[in-house]
Amino acid sequence: MNSSHISRRNSLKLFALTGTTLLAMPNLLLSCDSKRDFKIRFGILTDSHYANREPVGTRFYRDSIPKMQEAIEELNSQHLDFLIHLGDFKDQDSAAKAEDTLTYLREIEAVFQRFKGDNYHALGNHDVDSITKEQFLKNIDNTGQKTAVSYYAYEANGLQFIVLDANYDADGTSHYFAEGSDWENANIPEEEMEWFANILANSDLPTVVFCHHPLYEYYKEGSKFHVTNYAEIQQLMEANGNVIACLHGHVHAEDFKEINGIHYITQLGMVDYEGLDNNTFSIVEITPNQLKIEGYKRASNKDILL
């Protein structure tokens, strides 16, 4: 990275912290840029919705096993730093029996765990349909966790990664749709928000946030897909100044937004449309200057300057 380059966001941070001009501080410029020297490549999958059931609309649930197999085989050949699934990992059938849903979860997890490297999950709303959040977490593995948790953070190659869980009512009650939760009312509750603020405050690493639900306003076909208290989360991330991007699933559509220096990226769902020709997954590469998405099959390529 050229030592004279610094992003507008970092410039504003330096002004705010010092109350002086950047021209008088060349050593600080150099140290700031040096600290941001990194490169990482990781895989992203989302919305596989696996279940042993007949197709509904565009969703070909059974096809998510061969699609996942193909994705893992390709991603294993790419020497990635890690792999993350952004939620709605599995689904349920029309009978919505917990024992069958757990079978579908275990079957798709067995394929996902063939990835030869660190791998992680974010929780989607369909992951807590006819099974509880606790049941889901007991049947998956996240690297470095004895028992999977629903929100957590980890570091890789000089970056911090934070996985959020918005499957809550505003009062912190976990969603469980068998008991009538409202999927359009997704929240980051107070306890998780405090944890998130603390994680951000205690690291100066460039940061990427993962959340199944968009952390920016997103309506589709008359329904609300975003986290209800997204504005509060955005304010927290913007004040921190280290967040590069937030990546999401949930809406089964591609979308790219930049809001106050943070890039919000939403990806296609694997479950949609029949057969391997309609598979979708991506590799993300991030350097100090660029976020690059290499999309496979239905997924688009995207180059974003940082």
pLDDT for the residue numbered 95: 96
pLDDT for the residue numbered 19: 35
pLDDT tens for 277-306 read: 999 999 999 999 999 999 999 999 999 999
Residues of the chain with pLDDT under 50: 1-34
Question: Phi then psi for 82, rounded to 5 degrees?
Answer: -170, 175
pLDDT for the residue numbered 29: 33
User: Residue 301 region, left (φ>0) first, then alpha (ψ -120 to 50), else beta?
Assistant: beta
| CA–CA separation, 139 and 56 (whole Å) | 26
Which residues are within 8 A (CB) of 236 and not within 5 positions of it... i.e. 6 or more apart? 193, 196, 197, 200
pLDDT for the residue numbered 11: 36
Domain boundary assignment for the chain? 1-37, 38-305
pLDDT for the residue numbered 35: 53
pLDDT for the residue numbered 15: 33
| CA–CA separation, 181 and 227 (whole Å) | 14
pLDDT tens for 68-103 read: 999 999 999 999 999 999 999 999 999 999 999 999
**Joined tokens for residue 186:** 């997704």
The CATH number of 38-305, from 3.60.21.10, 3.40.50.1100, 3.40.50.2000, 3.40.190.10, is 3.60.21.10
